[in-house]
Amino acid sequence: MAQSFPSPSTARSGAKDGVLSIRPFRRLWQALSISAFGDWLGLLASTALAQQLAGEDYAKANFAIAGVFIVRLIPAVILGPLAGVFADRLDRKTLMVISDLTRFGLYLSIPIVGNYFWLYTATLLAETATLFWSPAKEATVPNLVPKNKLEAANQVQLLVAYGSAPFAAALFAILALFNSALSGIFKWQDSTAADIGLYINAFSFLYAAFVVYTLKEIPKGAASSKTEGSILKSLTEGWKFAGSSKIIRGLIVGIVGAFVAAGAVIGLARTFVGDLQAGEAAYGVLFGSVFAGLALGITLGPKILGNFSRRRIFGASLATAGLFLIVLSLIQNLVLAILVVLILGAFSGICWVTGFTMLGLEVEDELRGRTFAFVQSLIRVVLILVLAISPLIAAAIGRHTFNIYEISLTYNGAAFTMLLAGIIATTVGLLSYRQMRDRPGVSFFADIRSAIRGELGAYPSHTTPGFFIVFEGGEGSGKSTQTKILKRWFEGRGLQVTLTREPGGTELGSKLREMLLAVETGHISPRSEALLYAADRAHHVYSVVRPALERNEVVISDRYMDSSIAYQGAGRVLSSEEVARISRWATEGLTPHLTVILDQPASHGLSRIKEADRLESESIQFHDRVRDEYAILAGRDPDRYLVVDATQPIESIAVLVRNRIQEVAPSIFKDQLGGN
């Protein structure tokens, strides 16, 4: 069957109105919205029913709730490969309809049967049906939208997948509040909010089956020939790629930490609300607050914090979410708990969206798909494991009372488990922040102050292809010699190389260099000098460095922004943070892959100079401060710096530099670099 795509004029209209202007996809999206809403409502109802069946036994209730999450995990781990095979070989439309009808029947039967065995069995079978439905749906969407709108289609699907949770939670709270009245009106004797929620969930899948059945635009026949592997296989293959980069490893661990924090709240929400002497309505509100916070963070976080370094915001937001989870574990007031959960969810959302954005920017194109597949699989397993294990831990810990003077405080297992999850999330966030900070010389709080005052500290961050290497060091350290040797080495391996310097890498830079270094210029205000170097750097990056990187070339620069931090900052006794911030703004945050610092005593380098320029003529104390600042910069970010003893033989230095380059080079360059 031919694909039904809009005409050019319709496509242009769609670009304006969005992917939902495409009618077939809009109908499928509406069906997905209803079924996603119903599924979240069904999750709430299933856990509530499990607790009801447990009675007053605290431990039994926690184990019962954990059982619901465990049976949702089992099919994904065990039957993933089998479901993918069927989805590839059967008619997509038929498979989707049968899966939705199966889920309709199973969820409809749960409140009717009303026992543990069938609650778990039906949930297990329904999740199995979902495994068959999901790949068929994923294979269908590309047939309903043009390729240039596929990304937008995926975005709106994710929006309803997670954005419907707060609305489901709100409805569940309303059902709990007005259950008695509704039972009287509709003659539902002995029905609870959990029962009604499961009925609504069932009919949401019936509606989805009807919509899919009536969609003539869905092609008949098998789905994509691309086989979907098991979660375990995806984890194994993805880790091979992710493990090669410290940044990617930090991102993945951080994202998992964020889901540990959010998952602990979701998994323990029902028990925690019970500990606060509240009912199902409060459970719905607390559950919805997590996702409302996530949506708030995902939506507003990038707008509010868009000018900060993503690497810094990622770790900081995760650590903050962990701290609020710790606070939540200590609270015994429902209203305060809901407020804290909302804030916690917002910071988790910021961490989530920042992490996924960074993955898209940091991972090379040829590895991006496998990395995302790995991360998605890992998140799914970890989140459901947290949801399942948290109630088990809470049940094992039990209830404890602490008497402090005349105050008696009672904390249950849910609070202790949240406390543990909060400590884990905070620790992971702090480790991520330390590992991925990318602004040497600029403190996080200085960034915040700068943004509040509207100063130059905020800058957009851009990722470019190519390979950017910088040589730094004091006077007479041999930078120019090493840059030329390295250029020849790269060119001998067939790579295009741009060799440049600061100042002087452009026509404007040559004029500024002559003025800045000429002895005749005399004294320049330290701030003026710093701004002149920043002006040269801004033009240099704009006209030489970034264009070469965009052409996928190797760029080797003799000096870059660290020179300003060391010379105009420490040397002139200005604030290194302020100088660094100006340079970051001037370069739009462009950071080298590797900075080589050729280190030697200042007196040793100056002794090599026969005719000193204006900077070389400064006092030995000035040059000692410069050397010390380079050491501080390298110590703050050892992964990005290589400090080499510049008193060694020239070739020995070159070998050390080449060895490090082969370690840090982007993957697209490594095959060409070979050995020394």
Same-domain pairing of 71 and 132 = yes
User: What CATH number does residue 419 fall under?
Assistant: 1.20.1250.20
Which one is predicted more confidently, 338 or 278? 338
Same-domain pairing of 354 and 270 = yes
The least confident of 281-295, 533-547, 617-631 is 281-295
Same-domain pairing of 334 and 408 = yes
Same-domain pairing of 547 and 622 = yes
- Boundary of a domain, candidates 186, 206, 229: 229
The confidence score (pLDDT) of residue 458 equals 42
What number is the average pLDDT over the span 533-538? 90
Q: Does 481 have pLDDT greater than 80?
A: yes
As a whole number, the mean pLDDT across the chain is 76
The least confident of 41-45, 171-175, 219-223, 463-467 is 219-223
What number is the average pLDDT over the span 390-399? 76
Same-domain pairing of 248 and 161 = no
Same-domain pairing of 433 and 490 = no
Residue 589 lies in a domain: yes
Same-domain pairing of 220 and 275 = no
Same-domain pairing of 254 and 386 = yes
Residue 593 burial (CB count, 10 A): 18
Residue 456 lies in a domain: no
pLDDT digits (tens, 9 = 90+) for 488-497: 999 998 899 9
Q: How far is CA 56 from CA 275, 391, 410, 458, in A?
A: 12, 15, 18, 55
Q: Does 106 have pLDDT greater than 70?
A: yes
The least confident of 198-207, 390-399, 412-421 is 390-399
Cα separation of 669 and 676, whole Å? 14
Residue 505 lies in a domain: yes
Residue 458 lies in a domain: no
Task: For residue 173, give its domain range.
Answer: 17-229
What number is the average pLDDT over the span 30-51? 85
Q: Does 307 have pLDDT greater than 70?
A: no
Chain CA centroid to CA 378, Å: 13
Which one is predicted more confidently, 252 or 362? 252
pLDDT digits (tens, 9 = 90+) for 133-161: 776 776 677 677 776 665 566 657 766 77
Same-domain pairing of 220 and 234 = no
Among candidate residues 650, 670, 624, 323, the one with its CA nearest the CA of residue 479: 650
Same-domain pairing of 268 and 190 = no
Residue 11 lies in a domain: no
Domain count, the chain: 3
The confidence score (pLDDT) of residue 223 equals 43
The confidence score (pLDDT) of residue 21 equals 81
Same-domain pairing of 203 and 243 = no
Which string of DSSP letters, residue by residue, matches 420-447?
Answer: HHHHHHHHHHHHHHHHH---TT--HHHH
Query: What pTM, to 2 d.p., does this model score?
Result: 0.55
Which one is predicted more confidently, 412 or 483? 483
pLDDT digits (tens, 9 = 90+) for 539-576: 999 999 999 998 989 999 999 989 988 888 887 877 87
The confidence score (pLDDT) of residue 164 equals 79
Residue 454 lies in a domain: no
Residue 593 lies in a domain: yes
**Is 83:135 a contact under the CB 8 Å cutoff?**
yes
Cα separation of 136 and 90, whole Å? 9
Cα separation of 39 and 107, whole Å? 10
At 411, is the secondary structure helix, strand, or coil? strand
Residue 121 lies in a domain: yes
- Boundary of a domain, candidates 178, 200, 229: 229
Structure tokens at 556: 């080797």
**Is 639:466 a contact under the CB 8 Å cutoff?**
no
Which one is predicted more confidently, 49 or 353? 49
What number is the average pLDDT over the span 489-510? 89
Kindly give, in sequence order, each residue whose CB lies less than 8 Å from that of residue 103, ignoring residues fewer than 6 positions away: 126, 129, 130, 133, 202, 205
Kindly give, in sequence order, each residue whose CB lies less than 8 Å from that of residue 253, ignoring residues fewer than 6 positions away: 428, 431, 432
Same-domain pairing of 181 and 107 = yes
User: What CATH number does residue 640 fall under?
Assistant: 3.40.50.300
- Boundary of a domain, candidates 212, 229, 246: 229
Q: Does 259 have pLDDT greater than 90?
A: no
Half-sphere exposure of 41 (CA within 13 A, CB side): 30
Which one is predicted more confidently, 608 or 630? 630
Which one is predicted more confidently, 303 or 62? 62
The confidence score (pLDDT) of residue 540 equals 92
Kindly give, in sequence order, each residue whose CB lies less than 8 Å from that of residue 633, ignoring residues fewer than 6 positions away: 440, 441, 562, 565, 566, 597, 641
